[in-house]
Amino acid sequence: MKVNGKTFLLTKPQTLNEFLKRNNYDISKIVIELNGEIISKDKYNKIKIKNNDKLEILTFVGGG
């Protein structure tokens, strides 16, 4: 799969939530686009990701 433009090999089936936790993303600070669609937070647990998916993870930092 592609994550922020970089190739990433998924070794086992997993949900989006599992993927994010495993890769140390802070779920409260991100916006996710999966294959061109914005995914609302309540679906992170339900969506299964697979190779060939295109995942964009935008992480926000504080200040404004």
Partner 1 sequence: MTIINLNGKKYKTATKTLTELKKELNINKTTYVLVNGTKTCKNKNLYNNISVSFIKKNSFVSLKEYNSMMSYRYGKETFNKIKSAQVAVAGLGGIGSNVAIMLARTGIGELFLVDFDKVDVSNLNRQHYFIEQLGSFKTKALKEQITKINPFVKVKTKNIFIKEKNIKTLFYKYKIICEGFDKAQNKAMLINTVLTKLPKSYIIASNGMAGYSGANDIKTVKKTKKLYVCGDFKNEVNENNSLYATRVQVCAAHVANIAVRLVLGITEE
> Which residues contact partner 1 (rule: CB under 8 A)?
28-31, 33, 36, 38, 40-41, 56, 58-64
Between 11 and 28, name the residue whose CB sits nearer to partner 1.
Answer: 28
Structure letter (DSSP) for residue 5: T
* Of 42 and 50, CB closest to partner 1: 42
Q: Please report how close the Cβ of residue 19 comes to partner 1 at its closest, in angstroms.
A: 17
Residue 11 or 40: the one with the smaller Cβ distance to partner 1 is: 40
* C-alpha R_g of the chain: 11
Cα dihedral sign, 41-53-18-59? negative
- Taking alpha carbons only, the member of 57, 42, 45, 54 closest to residue 18 is 45
